Amino acid sequence: MKKPPVKGMRLLRLAGMTASVAGGYAQSRVRRALGADADQEEHRFRKASGERIARTLGELKGAAMKVGQFASAARDLLPPELTDALVGLQRDSPPMAYEVIAEQIEKELGSPPELLFQHFERAPFAAASVGQVHRARTDDGVEVVVKVQYPGVDQAVDSDLSQVRLALRLGGLAKVPKDMLDATFGELRERLHEELDYCNEADNVRRFRAFHAGHQGLLVPDVVGERSSQRVLTLTYLPGRPLSDLDDPRWPQDLRDKLGTALGELITRQIFELKAIHGDPNPANFAWREDGSLVIYDFGCVKNLPDRVVDSTREILRGARDRDYGQLDRAMHDLGPLRPERSIPSDYYDRWLHAIAPPLDEEVYDFGRADLADRVKKLIPSAVKRAHWWQPAPEVVILDRMLAGHYDNLRTMRARVPARRLMLRFL
Clarify whether residues 297 and 424 are in a common domain. Answer: yes
- Residues (pLDDT < 70) of the chain are 1-7, 72-76, 90-93, 392
| Residues 162 and 39 both lie in one domain | yes
Distance CA 411, CA 126 (A): 24
Please report whether residue 139 resides in a domain: yes
> By C-alpha distance, which of 284, 316, 288, 294 is closest to 396?
316
- Give the contacts of 191 (CB within 8 A, at least 6 positions apart): 279, 301, 303, 398
Residues 28 and 64 in one domain: yes
- Work out the angle between the directed axes of helices 253-269 and 198-212 (0-180°, nearest 10): 110
339, 277: one domain: yes
114, 138, 173 - which closes a domain: 173
**pLDDT attached to residue 92:** 52
In whole angstroms, give the CA distance from residue 147 to residue 234. Answer: 6
What is d(CA 30, CA 36) in angstroms, rounded to the nearest whole number?
A: 9
Tell me: do 368 and 305 sit in the same domain: yes
* pLDDT for residue 156: 82
421 occurs within a structural domain: yes
Single-letter residue type at 79? P
pLDDT at 141: 97
The tally of domains found in the chain comes to 3
Burial 34-50 (b: 16+ CB within 10 A, else e): eeeeeeebbebbbbbbb
Domain match, 18 and 109 both: no
Q: Report if residue 187 sits inside a domain.
A: no
> What Å distances lie between residue 65 and 62, 72, 148, 329, CA to CA?
6, 11, 17, 36
pLDDT of residue 427: 87
My answer on whether 30 and 119 are in the same domain is: no
> What was the pLDDT predicted at 380?
78
Q: How far is the C-alpha of 344 from the C-alpha of 328, rounded, in Å? A: 9
| Same domain? 14 vs 162 | yes
Please indicate, yes or no, whether residues 267 and 133 belong to a single structural domain of this protein: no
Give a yes or no: residue 41 inside a domain: yes
Give the range of the structural domain holding residue 384, as residue numbers without chain letter. Answer: 240-427
CA triple 393-394-399, angle to 5 deg: 95
Asked whether residue 166 falls in the same domain as residue 206, the answer is no
**Residue 26 belongs to some domain of the structure:** yes
> What sign does the CA torsion over 270, 271, 273, 276 have?
positive
Residue-level pLDDT at 86: 80
CA-based nearest residue to 191, from 112, 119, 280: 280
How many Å apart are CA 365 and CA 16, to the nearest integer?
A: 47
- The Cα-based distances of 139 to 115, 125, 334 in angstroms read 10, 20, 53
178 occurs within a structural domain:
no
| Same-domain pairing of 141 and 283 | no
Interior/surface letters 246-280, b for 16+ CB within 10 angstroms, e for the rest? beeeebeeebbbbbbbbbbbbbbbbbbebebbbbb
129 shares its domain with 162? no
**Residue 224 resides in a domain:** no
